[in-house]
Amino acid sequence: MKNVLKIANKLRSSGLRPTKQRIQIAKFLFEREKTFHFTVEELDRWINLKNKEEKISLATFYNTVHAFKKAGHLKEILTSNHKSYFDTHTGPHHHFFDLENNKLTDIDSEKIKLKDIPNAPKGKSIKDIDVVINIENDSH
């Protein structure tokens, strides 16, 4: 019961009413040991495969994920394959992107040293820096 209340509060803080479907999505995303990366389409597939009798619409997945992103519960990573991936780890870190498997792997932010970062355009400030390193198998 305590976890459902925690999830409901997370939904409310994102400006979402804690419906049964949204609670199910939030539990899937946030009640786990490790953080993970996903696309909205993958999330739809994973949850709706388990939930045969009450399907959640793709629009509900998109709206919920984007509301979580806006509230700071998820981080969006844009990759070279022009897809948006989402990450439950919202702290500072970077990623490897495997071009063949379309998978992201975290890189600790301490492992990458950035220098000579340009100033933001006038009237703007740098919010954060995301480095995505594309990788492929050695045989290429």
pLDDT band for position 1 (cuts 50, 70, 90)? low
Query: What value, to the nearest 5°, has the Cα angle with vertex 70 and ends 67 and 75?
Result: 105
For the residues 54-83, what does the mean pLDDT come to?
91
pTM of the predicted model as reported, rounded to 2 decimal places: 0.85
The predicted pLDDT at position 124 comes to: 96
CA distances from 45 to 51, 67, 118, 131 (A): 10, 20, 41, 28
Task: Report, as an integer, the average pLDDT of 63-90.
Answer: 91
**What is residue 118's predicted lDDT score, i.e. its pLDDT?**
92
Distance of alpha carbon 83 from alpha carbon 77, whole angstroms: 8
Say whether pLDDT at 123 is over 90. Answer: yes
Q: Which position has the higher pLDDT, 123 or 6?
A: 123
Strands in the chain per DSSP E: 37-38, 75-78, 84-87, 93-98, 103-108, 132-135
Per cent of the chain over pLDDT 90 is 49
